Amino acid sequence: MKDIYGSDWVFYDIVEKNLKNLLQTCDLKERKLVLFGITEATSVAIDFLKKQGLKIYAVIDNNPTRRNFIDSNISVCAPEELLSAYDDEVLVLIGTPYFDEMSNQLIKLGYDKEKHIYQFFDPRVEQKKYEISGLKEVSEDESKKIQFEILKYIHDICEENNLQYFLAYGSLLGAVRHSGFIPWDDDIDIYMPISSINELYRLLEKDVRYKMCLPACTDGYFYMYARVIDTRTILNIIDFPLLIKSGISIDIFPLVYLGNTVDEAQKIMNESYYEQKRIKNMISEKKTSNEIFRNIRMLWDKLEKKNYQDCKYCGNVFGPYGYKEILQSEIFSEKDNYNFENTKFWGPIDSKLYLTHIYGNYLEYPPLDKRKSPHIWKGYWRNTI
């Protein structure tokens, strides 16, 4: 399916063009440049601005524990920590789909949207350029049903072949709090040890309906975690700087060894973050697929060497929560049944400890304005049904 699923480099030039336009209209040397949001687009913007001889004042993020994804020479902190004391020289650059929410956060701190805030990349706008015409759109209910069916299929294979998996992140939260999908969310995530991921890939190699994409193994697939796609569907995902040609899917994150002390766990996480930054820079620099794959494979091979159960701490080094991804291995010492959309699936034995560690008071609902999906893609049926 090389002609259907894969990746194209399409967005790097957009960021450069937008920042060049900003340079023509504003003397950035007179401003304190602050990037809001730890994303790939932010990293590319930093590299571009440095090449123009400009200094980055700081990076702000509402989850500054992810600071390891940013150049260590740049200060990373929470917005309020840096900007509570009003500074008229600040110019905040934003390259995420949450521009309105981030702008409102800055406005509450006293900053002016026209004078102090600039959006250098808008994934929502760019995504619309790559919507697929002539095919029937997959509805939200259909998307959830497709993902549920993928999960059920993986569950059955794992049961038959003695493979491990656990519901993860919002999927486990949904099972515990809602007995299914979080009403305003629309995806499913699971954990698996790398040995089980590799075996699942082998078992699905010749499957017709479901295609498993594995890092460094699937042509054109530059994610660092695995994914199982329903091949009846197709969609385009912006994952800067790539346009990912995929389908409705669920994500599989590797559960890996992180050592026996917090210091050791943080060291392993930091080493992994460094490798991920290096690989993502290779992607941005449009290195060859073989070179990128070779480095991804080296990272995965290193993570696979030790069993996540043979230590006090384990976790997902590719997750979004920084050091919160460092989990006590006892959480996964056994599996337990969780009801998800009237079907039993496996999750960690200590869901309370896991969910509290990741989300805090996980039983409390977020404010109404936060109850919306973070995803901006649209899926389509490959054939009219």
Is there a contact between 236 and 244 (Cβ–Cβ < 8 Å)?
Answer: yes
Query: Could you tell me the domains of the chain?
Result: 8-128 (3.40.50), 140-381 (no CATH)
- Which pLDDT does position 5 carry in this prediction? 64
Q: How far, in Å, are 22, 122, 155, 186, 238 from residue 93 at the CA level?
A: 10, 11, 43, 29, 19
| Distance, CA of 347 to CA of 175 (rounded, Å) | 9
Question: CA nearest 41: which of 92, 93, 118, 80?
Answer: 93
pLDDT value, residue 173 = 98
- Amino acid at position 26, single letter: C
Q: What are 83-116's pLDDT values in tens digits?
A: 999 999 999 999 998 899 999 999 999 999 999 9
Pick from 359, 293, 301, 287: nearest CA to 325: 359
pLDDT at res. 2: 41
Crossing angle, helix 12-25 and helix 40-51, to 10 degrees?
50
Distances (CA, A) of 143 to 29, 230, 232: 47, 10, 12
Helical H segments across 162-254, by residue range? 169-178, 194-204
In angstroms, the CA 276 to CA 251 distance is 18
| Average pLDDT per consecutive 10 residues, the chain (385 residues; last block may be shorter) | 59 85 92 93 90 95 81 89 95 94 96 96 82 88 96 98 98 98 94 97 95 91 92 83 82 98 96 91 83 95 94 96 95 97 98 97 91 81 71
As a whole number of angstroms, the distance between CA 215 and CA 1 comes to 16
Q: What is the pLDDT of residue 4?
A: 55
- pLDDT tens column, 38-69: 988 898 899 899 999 999 999 999 987 777 77
